[in-house]
Chains A and B, each alone.
Chain A
Amino acid sequence: MRLIGRIGSWFDARLQLGKPLRETAEHAVPRDSASWFYVFGSAALTTFGLQLVTGILLSTVYVPSAGEAWNSLQVLNHDIALGWFIRALHGWGSNFMVTIVLIHMVQVFLFGAYKYPRELTWMLGVMLLLVTLGMAFTGQVLRFDQDAYWGLGIGASIASRVPFVGPWLVNLLLGGPIIAGATLSRFFALHVFLIPGLLIGFVCVHVLLVLTLGVNEWPVPGRIVRRATYLREYHQLTDTKGVPFVPFAVWKDILFSGFVLLSIAACAAFFGPYGPGGPPDPTIIQTAPRPDFYFLWIYAVLAFLPPAAETPLLLTAPVVGIALLLLLPFFAGEGEKSWKRRPIAVFIVLLAAVTLGSFTQLGLHTPWSPVMDAWSSMPIPREYLHGRTALQRRGAIVFQEKQCRNCHSLDGQGGKRGPALDQVAVRLNRDQLVRQVIQGGGNMPAYGKNLSPAEATAVVAFLHTLHPEGQAPARDAAQDVALGADQARTPLR
């Protein structure tokens, strides 16, 4: 024991780090801030540490070459002892890191910690969120599978829309004219060198600022932040009610970090690694590319934006969003910190959570996408064929064969792009059905050129039978009068 002490003294006599480290560890934090709400920052740092270690471990096997990356992931998954587990730790670690960074941000926002004098800490935090998301996206590319390949295509398509320099940006992003070896190499450089370098730099200054300016005090309603008086009040608080960070606050950080690490390990062991999916072969087009969880909401938004608004919004919304986040402390740098007195802040958080949550949910189910195999894999429900005429049954075959099912569901099965057709005859009369099928409209392609008159007649006859028992199909009352009710109602039946 004495030997260790002597070795320690030998080093400290030269490094001179013992005193500043001790002072840092024992710096006073407001007693109320030694709270379970204040553990997310350290937990984010812990997950980053895990990502660093597992990332280095993966890099000992991974080959950043478009021709070999996918194979090397297979080797990691199947041939190397516990390679799958290290991949799973890295993948789940990234999920946890993004989540914890977001929770940390929400907590800081709701507790008013971004206000004077911690503006720069907040701005660096925003940058840390961006580089974390940058790590998530580039990491998804390194898992060089079908999703990564076509995801890069989506990225290139978005980049191409930048006015004037779009085409150049695409080449710069891809490292050439197409997604290929050069693309993966540069994303490897981004994921392994550039972005982690930025991340480490930002983290150092972020943590330094936390130590220099002190941990945010627990917000109390009515305790107003004013530039003139805040620093004095804060030091009064730490002088009178302060406790040393170690051990009063740090034990919660340590326990929570341990809990997070254990959760990541449990998820990794239980759910295993992410992919890789199909090989990155562009000629295999039987694929429905989807981004990882954190970008699903963007993927969903892109399905709903009207074409005219898409490019302007794609190019301006992120810039405006990031600018608003960065500038937040400058237009709300003083005043109330407590969320109990900041209803707009609470509303913004709720709105953002509900919006992101809803779009993510939609991104999981992609109701806007045709179900490519619905026409060949999902039978017409038997009750829709029972007791039907030959023409109507013929119409059911046309309905199936012309892939109507890819976008329209029957009995809950099929695409959700268009409306479900189980009761379509109640909504549209025969003429309207004919018009809709032949001319399309309302986001439906026109089938006029793709259906022979006989096929169109048959499919309309089938659609006309789709109404609930005891509820008559829609009909044109004016036509009834003009032609006589019997004639108008009976043809084709």
Chain B
Amino acid sequence: MTPETVVSRRGMLVKIGMFFNLIVGGILAVPIVRYLMSPVARGRTGGYLDWLSLGGLDQFPAGQTRLATYRNPIRNGWDGETDDIPCWVRNIDGQKFQVFAINCAHLGCPVRWFPQSNLFMCPCHGGVYYQDGSHASGPPPRGLFQYTYKVEDGKLHIKAGETPTTGSPTASLTDRGPSCG
């Protein structure tokens, strides 16, 4: 045996010790990663979406667009006001509705409704949408996000629970046109 290939007893023990720690580290990494990824694991199985009531239909007169608020279904006791999520409800003709996310499809800023000009305008980068949520001008790559809705017992319900973003409009959110749950 040449001197280079000689493995001393202590050298071997050091290697075994390091290998042992590597395995223990690997085992510990599993719960740590699982812990860090918990918001992902939970949300992507559909747990973030729920049917929520926006209140009685009388709050939403036909032909008008009104701001409504719901309390997010996934919440913690220390969330404060951040659980109260606004959205725009458009009552098209008393029968059909459109419920738009408050978040601009560009970068998520809160869009404002102007009934006089029938436009939604975004204060951040000047995105503008028509009353049906379709893109009118500015940088947004698409129209406003829409929630799936249903009318039950004289109340308007939407499927909500997750902030819609350009890259990940949630499953319940459609691109355009009225939708029914």
Enumerate chain A interface residues (CB-CB to B < 8 A): 65-68, 70, 149-150, 153-154, 156-162, 166-168, 170-172, 174-182, 279-283, 285-289, 299, 302-303, 305, 307, 310-311, 368-370, 372, 375, 401-404, 406-407, 417, 440, 443-447, 449-450
How far is A159 from B43 in the complex, measured between Cα atoms in Å? 16
Verify if B143 is at the interface (C-beta below 8 Å from A): no
Select which of B40, B82, B128 is within 8 A of A149 by beta carbon. B82
A-B contact pairs, 11 of them (CB 8 A): A150-B110, A167-B168, A178-B162, A180-B75, A280-B80, A302-B106, A369-B125, A372-B121, A445-B137, A449-B130, A450-B117
How many residues from B make CB contacts under 8 Å with A?
60
Do the beta carbons of B103 and A153 come within 8 Å of each other? Answer: yes
Q: What residues on B are CB-neighbors of A280 within 8 Å?
A: 80-82
> Which 10 pairs between the two chains have the least Cβ-Cβ distance?
A67-B80, A160-B167, A167-B168, A153-B108, A445-B136, A160-B165, A166-B167, A177-B162, A177-B48, A288-B123
Q: What residues on A are CB-neighbors of B137 within 8 Å?
A: 440, 443-445
How far is A40 from B89 in the complex, measured between Cα atoms in Å? 55
Stretch from B2-10, B19-27, B52-60, B66-74 forming part of the interface with A: B66-74
Do the beta carbons of B168 and A417 come within 8 Å of each other? Answer: no
In the complex formed, the residue of A with least CB distance to B103 is: A153
In the complex formed, the residue of A with least CB distance to B76 is: A181
Verify if B12 is at the interface (C-beta below 8 Å from A): no
Interface of B is mostly: loop
Q: What residues on B are CB-neighbors of A150 within 8 Å?
A: 108-110, 124
Do the beta carbons of B163 and A369 come within 8 Å of each other? Answer: no
Q: In whole Å, how far is A51's beta carbon from the nearest beta carbon of chain B? A: 26
Given A68-B80, A370-B123, is A172 in contact with B39 using a C-beta cutoff of 8 Å?
yes
Do the beta carbons of A172 and B166 come within 8 Å of each other? Answer: no
How far is A450 from B116 in the complex, measured between Cα atoms in Å? 8
Q: In whole Å, how far is B70's beta carbon from the nearest beta carbon of chain A? A: 10
Given A283-B84, A402-B116, is A289 in contact with B123 using a C-beta cutoff of 8 Å?
yes
Q: In whole Å, how far is A333's beta carbon from the nearest beta carbon of chain B? A: 35
Select which of B109, B116, B119, B170 is within 8 A of A289 by beta carbon. B109
Do the beta carbons of B81 and A305 come within 8 Å of each other? Answer: no
Q: What residues on A are CB-neighbors of B72 within 8 Å?
A: 177-178, 180
- 0/1 interface trace, chain B 35-48, chain A, CB 8 Å (1 if under): 01101101110001
Q: What residues on B are CB-neighbors of A179 within 8 Å?
A: 82, 163
Given A66-B79, A178-B72, A280-B81, is A443 in contact with B163 using a C-beta cutoff of 8 Å?
no
Do the beta carbons of A180 and B83 come within 8 Å of each other? Answer: yes
Given A171-B39, A303-B139, is A285 in contact with B168 using a C-beta cutoff of 8 Å?
no
Do the beta carbons of A178 and B74 come within 8 Å of each other? Answer: yes
How far is A9 from B154 in the complex, measured between Cα atoms in Å? 85
Do the beta carbons of A285 and B102 come within 8 Å of each other? Answer: yes
Do the beta carbons of A447 and B76 come within 8 Å of each other? Answer: no
Q: What residues on B are CB-neighbors of A288 within 8 Å?
A: 123-124
Do the beta carbons of A285 and B108 come within 8 Å of each other? Answer: no
Do the beta carbons of A369 and B119 come within 8 Å of each other? Answer: no
User: Other CB < 8 Å A-B pairs besides A157-B107, A181-B76, A281-B82, 12 of them?
Assistant: A65-B80, A67-B78, A153-B165, A161-B166, A167-B170, A177-B74, A178-B72, A310-B139, A311-B167, A369-B123, A417-B126, A449-B118
